[in-house]
Structure 1
Amino acid sequence: MSNPFAEVPVLPVVIPFGIVVFAVLLAVLWARRVFSPARAAVAAAVAVYAAGIVGNTIFPIFLDKPDSGVPWTPGLALIPFADYELDDALMNMLVFVPLGILIPLMLARPTWLKVIGAAAVTSLTVESLQLAAQAYFAGGHIADINDFLSNVAGGALGYGLLLLLARVPVLARLIDRFRWYPRGNAEERDRETVASRA
């Protein structure tokens, strides 16, 4: 089948991207000498998640978009909650719930500020790439402030869910197996820091 506008295929881009992300995260685990199957599973989940986000939010892109002769106008939606459907809001929240779960598993001392900040930076990056794709590759997505707000809310929801699950002792022990920084080690480092300042 012909491809008159040179549409970039998704899989040949996102699969290598996911593999690179996975390899980098595994290298981090090996370098820190904390590799385990459970932590490698977190790395795999992050890689698949990142590839999925790129594939579903940046594409389609075209290398040979037709010239309409009309000056480019950015597709921006900067008014919160204007013409924003509830199903869109829920979808964008759900998309970032996994991020709110995965990020704290990779942090030594996760906090609400760190997790929400990571969700905000990730969402802002996605919206910026969507805007760039519009400008240069006839991308089909609109950069929307409502998507950003829903994404951040989804990240917070994911972290809240993780904290809630961690209150159950059996689940807390299971979750600890997936943490990249064992909680005991972090607490010990905190005590050593306090002792050194005394």
Structure 2
Amino acid sequence: MRRSPVFHQVPVLPVVVPLAAAVLVVLLWFLRRRGRLSVPRASVALALCVYAAGVVANTVFPIYWDKPARSAPWSSYLVVVPFADYEVADAVMNVLVFVPVGILVPLVLVRVSWGRVSGAAAMFSAVIEGTQYVTAHVLGGGHIADVNDLIFNVLGGALGFAVFSVLSRVPVIDDVVRQFRWHDVDRRAARVEAR
């Protein structure tokens, strides 16, 4: 019986943790430089880094040191037809994974709107899908790029922003949320933009 070759995976934690720590340092420096550093705002920076690291670790890896590049055409690592053979469980998972984007991004942006939050979710998802596309072909990664993932990730970001918007309308919660925002927001202007 012929044995399948064993390939060596790039270890996840030694890659993702230092990158997340470096981004955290940059974000804290950014807040300090603008005189906005506080424990609540630093906790938002930490949450962003931990969240992004977790998403990258689970969507980009595994990648391999020594797996030969695949000879299949690049199109075999890309799904561009929406909703074809896409499972409900995958859709739900992609929505839930991106709900935090819709909650964290409004805390960081100066001007918050549905378009900006959805755009941030779309950009983050597109970077992930693009990375999956390249690593699947070049590094033998275990994922493919799928337009359905992009669609449901953006939907998850929008759902998170809906939750954020509803909770921000409660005065007591809004007072707490203001401590975590990286920028001062005029309440009337924020309500107009959130609509």
Runs of 4+ with >2 A deviation: 70-74, 184-187
Matches within 5 A, 1:68-79: 70-73=71-74, 74-79=76-81
2:118 counterpart of 1:116: yes
Tell me the SS of whatever aligns to 2:82. Answer: coil
2:51 counterpart of 1:46: no
Provide the TM-score with structure 1 as the length reference. Answer: 0.88
Paired residue for 1:29? 31
2:95 counterpart of 1:104: no
* Inter-CA distance 33–92: structure 2 relative to 1 (3 Å threshold): same
Aligned residue pairs, count: 184
Paired residue for 2:7? 5
Paired residue for 1:169? 171
For residues 27 and 77 of structure 2, what CA distance do their matches in structure 1 show? Answer: 34
Q: Deviations over 1:150-180 (max 9, x none)?
A: 0000000001100000111111111111000
What RMSD in Å do the two structures reach over aligned CA positions?
1.9
Q: Deviations over 1:67-116 (max 9, x none)?
A: 67x44443111110011111100100011100111011001111111111
Mean CA deviation greater in 169-178 or 59-68: 59-68
Paired residue for 1:86? 88
Provide the TM-score with structure 2 as the length reference. Answer: 0.89
Structure 1: runs of 5 or more not aligned: 188-198
CA contact (8 A) 2:69 2:140 kept: no
2:155 counterpart of 1:181: no
For residues 24 and 185 of structure 1, what CA distance do their matches in structure 2 show? Answer: 29
Tell me the SS of whatever aligns to 1:183. Answer: coil
Amino acid at match of 2:141: G
Structure 2 counterpart of 1:142, from 115, 121, 144: 144
Amino acid at match of 2:42: A
Tell me the SS of whatever aligns to 2:104. Answer: helix
- What is the CA-CA distance between 1:186 and the residue it aligns to? 11
Paired residue for 2:159? 157
For residues 29 and 11 of structure 2, what CA distance do their matches in structure 1 show? Answer: 28
